[in-house]
Protein backbone atom coordinates (compact mmCIF):
# COMPACT_ATOMS: atom_id res chain seq x y z
CA UNK A 1 0.00 0.00 0.00
CA UNK A 2 2.65 2.55 -0.94
CA UNK A 3 -0.21 4.46 -2.60
CA UNK A 4 -0.90 5.96 0.85
CA UNK A 5 2.58 7.55 0.81
CA UNK A 6 1.92 8.81 -2.70
CA UNK A 7 -1.44 10.27 -1.62
CA UNK A 8 0.42 12.14 1.13
CA UNK A 9 2.75 13.37 -1.61
CA UNK A 10 -0.24 14.87 -3.42
CA UNK A 11 -1.21 16.85 -0.32
CA UNK A 12 2.41 17.93 0.26
CA UNK A 13 2.66 19.27 -3.26
CA UNK A 14 -0.71 21.03 -2.94
CA UNK A 15 -0.33 22.50 0.55
CA UNK A 16 1.88 25.56 -0.16
CA UNK A 17 -0.29 26.52 -3.12
CA UNK A 18 -3.54 25.96 -1.19
CA UNK A 19 -2.41 28.21 1.65
CA UNK A 20 -1.89 31.05 -0.84
CA UNK A 21 -5.50 30.78 -2.12
CA UNK A 22 -8.72 32.37 -0.88
CA UNK A 23 -10.03 30.75 2.31
CA UNK A 24 -13.28 29.81 0.57
CA UNK A 25 -11.57 27.96 -2.25
CA UNK A 26 -12.35 24.26 -2.41
CA UNK A 27 -10.73 21.64 -4.60
CA UNK A 28 -13.36 19.70 -6.57
CA UNK A 29 -11.20 17.37 -8.62
CA UNK A 30 -7.54 16.50 -9.05
CA UNK A 31 -6.21 14.63 -12.05
CA UNK A 32 -2.98 12.66 -11.56
CA UNK A 33 -0.83 11.65 -14.48
CA UNK A 34 0.72 8.23 -13.76
CA UNK A 35 3.09 6.19 -15.92
CA UNK A 36 3.00 2.37 -16.02
CA UNK A 37 6.58 2.16 -14.68
CA UNK A 38 5.67 3.90 -11.41
CA UNK A 39 3.91 0.83 -9.98
CA UNK A 40 0.81 2.78 -8.99
CA UNK A 41 -2.54 0.99 -8.85
CA UNK A 42 -5.09 3.70 -9.76
CA UNK A 43 -7.90 2.22 -7.61
CA UNK A 44 -5.56 2.02 -4.60
CA UNK A 45 -4.45 5.64 -5.08
CA UNK A 46 -8.09 6.79 -5.26
CA UNK A 47 -8.89 4.91 -2.02
CA UNK A 48 -5.79 6.34 -0.31
CA UNK A 49 -6.79 9.85 -1.37
CA UNK A 50 -10.23 9.38 0.24
CA UNK A 51 -8.37 9.11 3.57
CA UNK A 52 -5.68 11.75 3.03
CA UNK A 53 -7.98 14.45 1.57
CA UNK A 54 -9.59 14.87 5.02
CA UNK A 55 -6.35 16.34 6.40
CA UNK A 56 -6.99 19.69 4.65
CA UNK A 57 -10.21 21.67 4.70
CA UNK A 58 -9.77 22.78 1.09
CA UNK A 59 -9.45 19.22 -0.25
CA UNK A 60 -12.01 17.52 2.01
CA UNK A 61 -14.56 16.67 -0.66
CA UNK A 62 -12.25 16.46 -3.66
CA UNK A 63 -12.28 13.60 -6.13
CA UNK A 64 -9.18 12.02 -7.60
CA UNK A 65 -8.80 10.72 -11.12
CA UNK A 66 -5.80 8.91 -12.53
CA UNK A 67 -4.82 9.53 -16.13
CA UNK A 68 -2.57 6.64 -17.12
CA UNK A 69 0.20 7.23 -19.66
CA UNK A 70 2.04 4.80 -21.92
CA UNK A 71 5.47 3.25 -22.20
CA UNK A 72 7.16 4.02 -25.51
CA UNK A 73 8.71 0.88 -26.94
CA UNK A 74 10.84 0.70 -30.08
CA UNK A 75 12.25 -2.49 -31.62
CA UNK A 76 15.89 -1.97 -32.59
CA UNK A 77 15.75 -4.88 -35.04
CA UNK A 78 12.61 -4.37 -37.14
CA UNK A 79 12.07 -0.67 -36.38
CA UNK A 80 8.51 -1.12 -35.13
CA UNK A 81 7.50 1.33 -32.40
CA UNK A 82 4.36 1.66 -30.33
CA UNK A 83 2.74 2.97 -27.16
CA UNK A 84 2.20 0.16 -24.66
CA UNK A 85 0.11 0.00 -21.50
CA UNK A 86 2.93 -1.80 -19.69
CA UNK A 87 6.57 -2.65 -20.25
CA UNK A 88 6.92 -5.13 -23.11
CA UNK A 89 9.75 -7.66 -23.32
CA UNK A 90 9.31 -9.06 -26.80
CA UNK A 91 8.56 -7.29 -30.08
CA UNK A 92 5.05 -8.43 -31.16
CA UNK A 93 6.12 -8.18 -34.81
CA UNK A 94 9.51 -9.94 -34.94
CA UNK A 95 9.88 -11.45 -31.42
CA UNK A 96 13.16 -9.60 -30.84
CA UNK A 97 14.17 -8.71 -27.29
CA UNK A 98 16.43 -5.96 -28.54
CA UNK A 99 14.06 -3.18 -27.47
CA UNK A 100 14.32 0.39 -26.33
CA UNK A 101 11.91 1.36 -23.56
CA UNK A 102 11.26 5.01 -22.78
CA UNK A 103 8.83 7.15 -20.81
CA UNK A 104 6.20 5.76 -18.48
CA UNK A 105 7.81 7.40 -15.43
CA UNK A 106 5.32 10.23 -14.98
CA UNK A 107 3.71 10.78 -11.57
CA UNK A 108 2.40 14.28 -10.93
CA UNK A 109 -0.70 16.49 -10.63
CA UNK A 110 -1.88 17.23 -14.14
CA UNK A 111 -4.78 19.54 -13.29
CA UNK A 112 -6.87 20.87 -10.41
CA UNK A 113 -10.52 21.92 -10.59
CA UNK A 114 -11.70 24.31 -7.89
CA UNK A 115 -14.83 26.23 -6.83
CA UNK A 116 -15.70 28.89 -4.25
CA UNK A 117 -17.73 27.81 -1.26
CA UNK A 118 -20.78 29.84 -0.19
CA UNK B 1 1.68 11.45 10.03
CA UNK B 2 4.46 13.41 11.76
CA UNK B 3 3.32 17.04 11.74
CA UNK B 4 6.84 18.44 11.60
CA UNK B 5 8.32 16.68 8.65
CA UNK B 6 5.36 14.95 7.07
CA UNK B 7 6.79 11.46 7.22
CA UNK B 8 4.64 8.41 7.84
CA UNK B 9 5.89 7.82 11.39
CA UNK B 10 3.27 7.97 14.13
CA UNK B 11 5.64 8.34 17.07
CA UNK B 12 7.49 11.48 18.02
CA UNK B 13 11.07 11.47 16.81
CA UNK B 14 13.95 13.89 16.70
CA UNK B 15 14.82 16.00 13.67
CA UNK B 16 18.56 16.38 13.73
CA UNK B 17 18.78 17.11 10.06
CA UNK B 18 18.76 20.56 8.56
CA UNK B 19 15.82 22.92 8.07
CA UNK B 20 13.83 21.42 10.89
CA UNK B 21 10.65 23.39 11.04
CA UNK B 22 10.43 25.14 7.70
CA UNK B 23 7.94 23.98 5.17
CA UNK B 24 9.69 21.20 3.28
CA UNK B 25 9.80 23.06 0.01
CA UNK B 26 8.24 26.03 -1.73
CA UNK B 27 6.70 25.47 -5.10
CA UNK B 28 5.01 28.05 -7.31
CA UNK B 29 2.57 25.62 -8.85
CA UNK B 30 1.73 22.10 -7.73
CA UNK B 31 1.25 21.03 -11.35
CA UNK B 32 3.84 18.75 -12.91
CA UNK B 33 5.85 18.29 -9.70
CA UNK B 34 6.70 14.67 -8.92
CA UNK B 35 4.57 13.29 -6.09
CA UNK B 36 7.60 11.84 -4.33
CA UNK B 37 9.49 15.15 -4.25
CA UNK B 38 9.41 15.01 -0.46
CA UNK B 39 11.06 11.58 -0.37
CA UNK B 40 13.60 12.63 -2.99
CA UNK B 41 14.54 15.68 -0.93
CA UNK B 42 15.35 13.45 2.04
CA UNK B 43 17.27 11.16 -0.32
CA UNK B 44 19.31 14.24 -1.27
CA UNK B 45 20.10 14.77 2.42
CA UNK B 46 21.16 11.12 2.70
CA UNK B 47 23.55 11.67 -0.21
CA UNK B 48 24.95 14.87 1.29
CA UNK B 49 25.61 13.09 4.58
CA UNK B 50 27.26 10.13 2.82
CA UNK B 51 29.55 12.43 0.82
CA UNK B 52 30.49 14.45 3.92
CA UNK B 53 31.47 11.26 5.72
CA UNK B 54 33.16 9.68 2.69
CA UNK B 55 30.79 6.75 2.83
CA UNK B 56 29.13 4.65 0.14
CA UNK B 57 25.60 3.16 0.27
CA UNK B 58 24.36 -0.09 -1.26
CA UNK B 59 20.62 -0.80 -1.19
CA UNK B 60 19.53 -4.46 -1.26
CA UNK B 61 15.95 -5.21 -2.26
CA UNK B 62 14.02 -8.37 -3.19
CA UNK B 63 11.04 -10.58 -2.37
CA UNK B 64 10.95 -11.98 1.16
CA UNK B 65 13.28 -14.98 1.47
CA UNK B 66 15.63 -14.30 -1.44
CA UNK B 67 18.61 -14.34 0.90
CA UNK B 68 19.39 -10.65 1.46
CA UNK B 69 20.47 -11.10 5.08
CA UNK B 70 22.44 -14.27 4.33
CA UNK B 71 24.26 -12.48 1.50
CA UNK B 72 25.00 -9.61 3.89
CA UNK B 73 26.38 -12.01 6.50
CA UNK B 74 28.64 -13.63 3.93
CA UNK B 75 29.77 -10.25 2.55
CA UNK B 76 30.56 -8.98 6.05
CA UNK B 77 32.55 -12.12 6.81
CA UNK B 78 34.68 -11.62 3.68
CA UNK B 79 35.05 -7.84 3.85
CA UNK B 80 35.23 -6.87 7.49
CA UNK B 81 39.04 -6.93 7.61
CA UNK B 82 39.42 -4.54 4.67
CA UNK B 83 36.28 -2.34 4.79
CA UNK B 84 34.42 -0.70 7.67
CA UNK B 85 30.81 -1.79 7.23
CA UNK B 86 27.52 -0.66 8.77
CA UNK B 87 24.03 -1.99 8.10
CA UNK B 88 20.52 -0.55 8.15
CA UNK B 89 17.93 -3.32 8.41
CA UNK B 90 14.35 -2.64 7.37
CA UNK B 91 11.68 -5.03 8.56
CA UNK B 92 7.93 -4.88 9.01
CA UNK B 93 8.30 -6.36 12.51
CA UNK B 94 11.14 -7.61 14.77
CA UNK B 95 14.84 -6.72 14.94
CA UNK B 96 15.86 -10.30 14.12
CA UNK B 97 17.87 -9.38 11.01
CA UNK B 98 19.70 -6.53 12.75
CA UNK B 99 20.56 -8.98 15.56
CA UNK B 100 22.05 -11.41 13.04
CA UNK B 101 24.36 -8.66 11.76
CA UNK B 102 25.31 -7.38 15.25
CA UNK B 103 26.43 -10.91 16.16
CA UNK B 104 29.17 -10.49 13.55
CA UNK B 105 30.48 -7.41 15.35
CA UNK B 106 29.06 -4.96 12.80
CA UNK B 107 27.00 -1.90 13.80
CA UNK B 108 23.39 -2.27 12.65
CA UNK B 109 20.40 0.05 12.94
CA UNK B 110 16.94 -1.49 12.71
CA UNK B 111 14.02 0.30 11.09
CA UNK B 112 10.80 -1.45 12.07
CA UNK B 113 8.12 -0.14 9.75
CA UNK B 114 5.14 -1.46 11.76
CA UNK B 115 3.29 -2.71 8.75
CA UNK B 116 4.55 -0.31 6.08
CA UNK B 117 5.68 -2.17 2.98
CA UNK B 118 8.81 -0.15 2.14
CA UNK B 119 11.53 2.06 3.58
CA UNK B 120 11.53 5.74 2.72
CA UNK B 121 14.46 8.16 2.57
CA UNK B 122 13.37 9.94 5.73
CA UNK B 123 13.57 6.86 7.97
CA UNK B 124 16.89 5.90 6.33
CA UNK B 125 18.25 9.40 7.03
CA UNK B 126 17.49 9.02 10.75
CA UNK B 127 19.10 5.57 10.90
CA UNK B 128 22.14 6.76 8.92
CA UNK B 129 22.63 9.74 11.26
CA UNK B 130 22.70 7.39 14.26
CA UNK B 131 25.05 4.98 12.52
CA UNK B 132 27.52 7.61 11.31
CA UNK B 133 27.49 9.61 14.56
CA UNK B 134 28.94 6.64 16.36
CA UNK B 135 30.98 4.89 13.68
CA UNK B 136 33.49 5.73 10.97
CA UNK B 137 32.34 3.64 7.99
CA UNK B 138 33.28 3.02 4.34
CA UNK B 139 30.09 1.24 3.30
CA UNK B 140 26.55 1.18 4.59
CA UNK B 141 24.23 -1.56 3.35
CA UNK B 142 20.50 -0.91 3.51
CA UNK B 143 18.32 -3.99 3.48
CA UNK B 144 14.78 -3.10 2.47
CA UNK B 145 11.55 -4.79 3.52
CA UNK B 146 11.02 -7.91 1.41
CA UNK B 147 8.74 -6.67 -1.40
CA UNK B 148 9.27 -6.26 -5.14
CA UNK B 149 6.63 -3.58 -5.75
CA UNK B 150 6.55 -0.75 -3.22
CA UNK B 151 10.30 -0.21 -2.63
CA UNK B 152 10.76 0.49 -6.35
CA UNK B 153 9.27 3.95 -5.96
CA UNK B 154 11.35 5.17 -3.04
CA UNK B 155 14.88 6.30 -3.80
CA UNK B 156 16.83 6.15 -0.54
CA UNK B 157 19.89 8.14 -1.62
CA UNK B 158 21.90 4.99 -2.33
CA UNK B 159 24.85 4.81 -4.73
CA UNK B 160 23.95 1.34 -5.97
CA UNK B 161 20.62 -0.46 -5.97
CA UNK B 162 20.92 -4.24 -6.00
CA UNK B 163 17.92 -6.50 -6.66
CA UNK B 164 18.11 -10.18 -5.65
CA UNK B 165 16.19 -13.00 -7.31
CA UNK B 166 16.72 -16.48 -5.86
CA UNK B 167 16.75 -19.69 -7.84
CA UNK B 168 13.63 -20.87 -6.02
CA UNK B 169 11.57 -18.00 -7.46
CA UNK B 170 10.24 -17.60 -10.99
CA UNK B 171 12.86 -16.73 -13.59
CA UNK B 172 10.43 -14.23 -15.17
CA UNK B 173 10.59 -11.77 -12.25
CA UNK B 174 11.89 -8.81 -14.32
CA UNK B 175 8.89 -9.17 -16.63
CA UNK B 176 6.44 -9.30 -13.72
CA UNK B 177 7.96 -6.47 -11.68
CA UNK B 178 9.53 -4.13 -14.25
CA UNK B 179 9.55 -1.02 -12.03
CA UNK B 180 12.07 -2.36 -9.52
CA UNK B 181 14.38 -3.78 -12.20
CA UNK B 182 14.17 -0.58 -14.25
CA UNK B 183 15.93 1.31 -11.46
CA UNK B 184 18.42 -1.41 -10.48
CA UNK B 185 22.20 -1.13 -10.95
CA UNK B 186 22.85 -4.81 -10.33
CA UNK B 187 20.95 -8.09 -10.27
CA UNK B 188 22.08 -10.89 -7.97
CA UNK B 189 20.79 -14.36 -8.77
CA UNK B 190 21.08 -16.07 -5.39
CA UNK B 191 20.90 -19.67 -4.11
CA UNK B 192 22.49 -21.03 -7.31
CA UNK B 193 23.46 -24.17 -5.38
CA UNK B 194 19.76 -25.12 -5.80
CA UNK B 195 19.73 -24.76 -9.61
CA UNK B 196 19.94 -28.56 -10.23
CA UNK B 197 16.65 -29.04 -8.36
CA UNK B 198 14.53 -26.23 -9.80
CA UNK B 199 13.36 -24.99 -13.21
CA UNK B 200 15.10 -21.64 -13.01
CA UNK B 201 16.98 -20.42 -16.07
CA UNK B 202 19.40 -17.62 -15.08
CA UNK B 203 19.98 -16.69 -18.75
CA UNK B 204 16.27 -15.98 -19.17
CA UNK B 205 16.19 -13.73 -16.10
CA UNK B 206 19.28 -11.84 -17.25
CA UNK B 207 17.89 -11.37 -20.74
CA UNK B 208 14.60 -9.96 -19.41
CA UNK B 209 16.42 -7.68 -16.97
CA UNK B 210 18.58 -6.34 -19.82
CA UNK B 211 15.47 -5.35 -21.80
CA UNK B 212 14.21 -3.14 -19.00
CA UNK B 213 17.62 -2.02 -17.64
CA UNK B 214 20.24 -2.16 -20.42
CA UNK B 215 23.22 -1.25 -18.19
CA UNK B 216 22.43 -3.65 -15.33
CA UNK B 217 25.30 -5.79 -13.93
CA UNK B 218 24.86 -9.47 -13.02
CA UNK B 219 26.12 -11.70 -10.24
CA UNK B 220 25.24 -15.38 -9.83
CA UNK B 221 26.13 -16.74 -6.42
CA UNK B 222 25.39 -18.95 -3.47
CA UNK B 223 26.02 -17.37 -0.08
CA UNK B 224 25.77 -20.85 1.40
CA UNK B 225 28.48 -22.62 -0.63
CA UNK B 226 30.44 -19.48 -1.49
CA UNK B 227 30.19 -20.07 -5.25
CA UNK B 228 30.35 -16.79 -7.19
CA UNK B 229 30.89 -14.75 -4.02
CA UNK B 230 34.39 -13.61 -4.96
CA UNK B 231 33.14 -11.59 -7.99
CA UNK B 232 30.52 -9.92 -5.80
CA UNK B 233 33.06 -9.06 -3.11
CA UNK B 234 35.52 -7.79 -5.72
CA UNK B 235 32.85 -5.48 -7.10
CA UNK B 236 31.96 -4.15 -3.63
CA UNK B 237 35.63 -3.43 -2.93
CA UNK B 238 36.06 -1.67 -6.28
CA UNK B 239 33.16 0.69 -5.63
CA UNK B 240 33.79 1.26 -1.91
CA UNK B 241 37.51 1.94 -1.75
- Is pLDDT larger for residue B54 or for residue B20? B54
Ramachandran assignment for B60, one of left (phi > 0), alpha (psi -120 to 50 degrees), beta (any other):
beta
**Which residues does B contribute to its contact with A (CB < 8 Å)?**
1, 6, 8, 23-39, 117-118, 120, 149-150, 152-154, 174-175, 178-180, 182, 207-208, 210-212
Q: What is the pLDDT of residues B39-53, one digit of tens each?
A: 999 999 999 999 999
| B12-21, B129-138, B193-202: least confidently modelled range | B12-21
Smallest CA–CA separation between A37 and chain B, in Å?
5
Judge: B6–A39 Cβ closer than 8 Å, yes or no: no
Q: What is the mean pLDDT of residues B88-95?
A: 90
Q: Which one of B6, B34, B152 has the shortest CB-CB distance to A8?
A: B6
pLDDT at B18: 44
SS3 A18: helix
One digit per residue, the tens of pLDDT, for chain A of length 118 reads: 689 999 999 999 999 999 999 999 999 999 999 999 998 999 999 999 999 999 999 999 999 999 999 999 999 999 999 999 988 889 989 999 999 999 999 999 999 999 998 7
pLDDT tens digits along B201-224:
999 999 999 999 999 999 999 999
Work out the pLDDT band at B1, boundaries 50, 70, 90.
very low
Q: What is the pLDDT of residue B100?
A: 93
In the predicted model, is pLDDT for residue B108 greater than 80? yes
A37 interaction partners in chain B (CB closer than 8 Å):
178-179, 182
Q: What per-residue confidence (pLDDT) applies to B95?
A: 87
Rounded to two decimals, the ipTM of the complex is 0.92
Reduced to 3 states, what is the DSSP secondary structure of residue A4? helix
Please state the rounded mean pLDDT for residues B223-235: 96
Interface contact A87-B178, CB threshold 8 A = yes
Nearest-CA distance B165 → chain A (Å): 18
Interface test with A, best of B5, B23, B24, B30 (most A CBs within 10 A): B30
Residues of B in contact with A14 (CB under 8 A): 30
pTM for this predicted structure = 0.88
Amino acid sequence: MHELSIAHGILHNLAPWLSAQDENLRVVKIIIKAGPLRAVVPEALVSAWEIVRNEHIKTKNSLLEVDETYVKVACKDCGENWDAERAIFKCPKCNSQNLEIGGGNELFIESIETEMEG
Amino acid sequence: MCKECGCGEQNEHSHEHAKKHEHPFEIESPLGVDLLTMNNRYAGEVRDLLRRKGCFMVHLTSSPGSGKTTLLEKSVEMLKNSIKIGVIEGDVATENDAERIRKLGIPAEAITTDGACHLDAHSVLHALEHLLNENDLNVVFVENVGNLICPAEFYLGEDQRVVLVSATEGDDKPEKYPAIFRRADALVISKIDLLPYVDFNPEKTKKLAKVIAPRIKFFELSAKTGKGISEWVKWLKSIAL
